[in-house]
Structure 1
Amino acid sequence: MAKSSEVTLEAISGELKKKPSDVVVIGVRQGADGPELAANPLSAKAAEALQASLTALGVTGAADQLHRLPGVDGLGADVIALAGLGKNDDGESLRRAAGSAVRQLAGTSTVTLSFPLADVAALAAVAEGAALGAYAFHEHRSSRDGLKTPVTTVRIHTELAGADGAKEALRRAAVVGRYVNSTRDLVNQPPNVLYPESFAAAAKDAAKPLPVKVTVWDEKRLEKEGFGGILGVGKGSSRPPRLVKVEYAPAKSRAHLALVGKGITFDTGGISLKPPANMDEMKSDMAGAATVLNTALAAAELGLPVTVTAWLCIAENMPSGTAQRPSDVMTVFGGKTVEVLNTDAEGRLVMADGLVAASQEQPDVIIDVATLTGAQLIALGDRTAGLMGHDGVTAALKASADAAGELMWPMPIPEELRPTLDSEVADLANIGARHGGMMTAAAFLREFVGSDATGETISWAHIDIAGPSFNNGSAYGYTPKKATGSALRTLLSYAETLAS
């Protein structure tokens, strides 16, 4: 599988004409009295003239707005682009403005961003947005005619170029961009290219340059060791399932974070077949596994003093003569039995195996990530992930999400939902109450979280990314169409809090 091209990030200061670029991007705010040109490298006379012309040019400063104008002397570029900053000056507004500008300027090679940056945190936000915006997925095109190549070099014009922490901020932004875009690449792959065996191989290839150990369970080992959830879901496919463990364990680790990801490389629903409309989007049902894989790799590249173990629970859910049936009873790794009432509630079955396996190592925290329920979209929409689990973990993850600029919202797991998962023939059923289905699914997963050395339940959280992982609408900010790479930045930020 091809890898996305990677953008080069630089911070520069001084006269722009000494560092020529194709486009210089200047910010415009939505002020109370109309559009306001943000601090910029233009001469006072040029800035005054441009400010006076903003309304006539149709510039409002709204997010995602980009206007191109002819360049002026002294900027070292033939084009000026005016990028909307919106109404706020926070890090996420800068991140989105940078990402939107770089995304919309695809087809140019070198872009200079000149936004007002108060500190290194603001520089980091702009750099990260630029890295996320420089993305396209063209791997399976026979011709590149008419396709625009992403920007390859982004220079950030700021007096902070030589400040303490600036170099590390750019490095982290590049790493974040690389692994979010790698996640997007995996999710965007068609299911005839990305299936359990090839996904496992891709994980091994991605880990080769890093201090990471990868272990793969094939179907024979899965059967021998009793991973009934993953095997049950994968029974109907000619492509057998896999479990992949990706382990980054630095010598001076301060904590152990286990990540469990749903990796359904294509989900037909199995015997409980899905309607045909939009079934093509079910190639994205492995986004959780792609996310936890790349979070572990990003932590390794950044050298975080935290052990990160990612469990990728990979299967293809197909209907066939060998597929599991509604009313089958399967035994999850560790011994619990589950009555399968709906084969389209398969993600929780593979995740159950992964949660038990992760628990056996008694990590400090387990976080699972999955495109688990359509109920998540009904409850929280297309862009906000559902966050459930132990209060301490969900609160910390919400703070990490806010810092990373990702939308997550804590939801409860009401106790009255657990009895709806009771089965007359097994320990529990794989579906329960339909209303509040996102929370019912979390109640199911909670049953497979194990105990620590003291006998207490391991701290755990579940993130349902069914909506935010795949963008069916237009691109916005640093978010492209189709795969988004959602949740990786939150998980990485959370791992960094464990490190500190």
Structure 2
Amino acid sequence: MTALTLSTSTAATLRADAVVVGVAKGPKGPVVAPGAEVVDQAFDGKLASVLETLGASGDEGEVTKLPAPSGLKAPVVLAVGLGELPAEDEAFAEETLRRAAGTAARALAGVKKAAFALPVEDAESAAAIGEGALLGAYSFTAFRSGGNGKKKDDKGAPLGEAAILGAKPRDKAFKAAAERAAAVAAEVNRARDLINTPSNALTPKLFAEAAQTAAKEHGLKIEVLDEKALLKGGYGGIMGVGQGSANPPRLVRLGYTHPKAEKTLALVGKGITYDSGGISLKPAGHNETMKCDMSGAAAVFAAVVAAAKLGLQVNVTAWLALAENMPSGTATRPGDVLTMYSGKTVEVLNTDAEGRLVLADALTRASEENPDAIVDVATLTGAMVLALGDRTFGVMANDEAFRDTLHETAQEAGEQSWPMPMPPELRKTMDSPVADIANMGQRMGGGLIAGLFLKEFVGEGIAWGHLDIAGPAFHESAPFGYTPKGGTGSAVRTLVRLAERTADGELG
């Protein structure tokens, strides 16, 4: 993994393979951003005009490489676009710095050490740069080899070290911010690794074993319910989804506790390690990326580990509802009725609406512990992607204030989200003639209907939020900013920030 260091050195004194500077869009052309003064001096104060000659404009995500002049220790200067120049009395937004650092780190893949001379106003901006660099440097190489099973090559090797210039390594605030950035980035990348792992190498059992390994390493309590325990316990939702697969389901509880904690958060994640759609088989072209249907479970798993690493004064539990949704002679059929862990019966009209079934059991089980709040995370509906696109997740809740808190928390963390309504009239469309509720309602507003279904299984009086990350969880286009192609680790940073706010007493 890429190392993160803070340095009081300048680009003229720090030995590195490349130095990263920021360039913004000014009213009359590109403008060199604060932090790059020493680099600009090495160009005799003409770095902006040199960049303009090379075609740079300062657009966000733009990358320009040029040889470094004498006076700098690094042989290469990489200028990364920051977008519009902020007003004179304003600083660059943390998310702008995070994305710029990520873009630069991707462009410097394979480089041993890079110095980041981006604008550092305070500990938070330094942390944003560090976090962006660590996230941007991510690569997934677990299944690569040199060919014919030989030793792996170095293709895709990440940036080795990111040194943040202008930071204060001995300052407590800077040191703590850098440590947080490293911990959070490591857990986002853990989630990415899980999401990118092929389904044949991450069955429910293997996912549970990965959680057991992490629990031992970080002092977390863990409980794993296998198929026998699930059947005996009456987990009809999880068993109903998983019964068609040769790889049986699991329900995993990971728990982090702090001796001085006054609040408890329960995080519930959809963990469909592969989703064929079951008997309601997905059409051709919709199966290839379905290894990512466990992104919600990956997110809550990573978030609870991050809480432990940071020693947050809050109790956090993660519930991983793990199953493989496959068609077979033992699979649940459309029209079957399942008896859920809560005792409610569900008519299954579409076996491809399986995520809500495993989440329902996990939500009921999590509610039994009476946490102060429950947040579930799931790649739940294509309808949410149609509504919000592929970079924004939807936020629903049984309490408007809590929904707003989740949305604000995502914004603070740098993740795009949008609050969604829960129209009560849509609930009637899930009425079933044979069961308490059906797992499908009307086609229009499908993402909202899924949220209303989940709400039925949350304990009375518990604040509950639902994050539908179907859009941003798996990125199929070209990388941008600190977002790679493939698994993104969506919602991890939001959940960690929520845990921090809860520890600070901000959760009512």
Q: Secondary structure at the match of 1:466?
A: coil
Q: Does 1:35 pair with 2:44? A: no
Give the paired residue count.
490
Amino acid at match of 1:262: K
- Which residue number corresponds to residue 93 of structure 1? 96
TM-score normalized by the length of structure 1? 0.96
- Return the match for 1:189 from 197, 203, 210: 197
- Which residue number corresponds to residue 501 of structure 2? 497
Q: Does 1:211 pair with 2:202? A: no
- Return the match for 2:445 from 432, 436, 450: 436
CA distance in structure 2 between the aligned counterparts of 1:94 and 1:306, rounded to whole angstroms: 29
- Which residue number corresponds to residue 21 of structure 2? 26
Aligned-pair distance for 1:152? 1.7
CA distance in structure 1 between the aligned counterparts of 2:404 and 2:70, rounded to whole angstroms: 51
Say if 1:418 and 1:440, in contact at 8 Å, map to a contact too.
yes
Unaligned runs of 5+ in 1: 1-5, 452-456
Say if 1:183 and 1:287, in contact at 8 Å, map to a contact too.
yes
- Return the match for 2:288 from 258, 276, 280: 280
Amino acid at match of 2:102: G
- Which residue number corresponds to residue 318 of structure 2? 310
Matched ranges for 1:195-274 at <5 A: 195-274=203-282
- Which residue number corresponds to residue 89 of structure 2? none
CA distance in structure 2 between the aligned counterparts of 1:104 and 1:46, rounded to whole angstroms: 22
- Return the match for 2:162 from 136, 154, 157: 154
CA distance in structure 2 between the aligned counterparts of 1:428 and 1:222, rounded to whole angstroms: 22
Q: Does 1:397 pair with 2:400? A: no
- Which residue number corresponds to residue 454 of structure 1? none
- Which residue number corresponds to residue 464 of structure 1? 468
CA distance in structure 2 between the aligned counterparts of 1:173 and 1:495, rounded to whole angstroms: 15
CA distance in structure 2 between the aligned counterparts of 1:274 and 1:159, rounded to whole angstroms: 51
- Which residue number corresponds to residue 475 of structure 1? 479
Aligned-pair distance for 1:71? 1.5
CA distance in structure 2 between the aligned counterparts of 1:254 and 1:31, rounded to whole angstroms: 49
Say if 1:15 and 1:74, in contact at 8 Å, map to a contact too.
no
CA distance in structure 2 between the aligned counterparts of 1:44 and 1:16, rounded to whole angstroms: 11
Q: Secondary structure at the match of 1:293?
A: helix
TM-score normalized by the length of structure 2? 0.95
- Return the match for 1:420 from 429, 443, 459: 429
CA distance in structure 1 between the aligned counterparts of 2:266 and 2:401, rounded to whole angstroms: 16
Deviation string 1:131-180 (CA, Å, 9 cap, x unpaired) is 11111011111224471310121000005444340000110000011000
Q: Secondary structure at the match of 2:45?
A: helix
Q: Does 1:350 pair with 2:358? A: yes
Q: Does 1:79 pair with 2:76? A: yes
Aligned-pair distance for 1:399? 1.1
Q: Secondary structure at the match of 1:280?
A: coil
Deviation string 1:352-373 (CA, Å, 9 cap, x unpaired) is 0000000000000000000000
Q: Does 1:103 pair with 2:106? A: yes
- Return the match for 2:117 from 102, 114, 119: 114
- Which residue number corresponds to residue 41 of structure 2? 44
Aligned-pair distance for 1:278? 3.4
Deviation string 1:387-445 (CA, Å, 9 cap, x unpaired) is 00121211111111111110000000001110111111110000001101000000000
CA distance in structure 2 between the aligned counterparts of 1:45 and 1:283, rounded to whole angstroms: 49
Amino acid at match of 2:386: I
- Which residue number corresponds to residue 3 of structure 1? none
Report the more deviating stretch, 349-358 or 273-282: 273-282
Amino acid at match of 1:44: Q
Q: Secondary structure at the match of 2:134?
A: helix
- Return the match for 2:141 from 129, 138, 141: 138
- Return the match for 1:331 from 339, 352, 360: 339
- Return the match for 1:16 from 11, 16, 20: 11
Say if 1:107 and 1:148, in contact at 8 Å, map to a contact too.
yes
Q: Secondary structure at the match of 1:461?
A: strand
Say if 1:261 and 1:290, in contact at 8 Å, map to a contact too.
yes
Q: Secondary structure at the match of 1:460?
A: strand
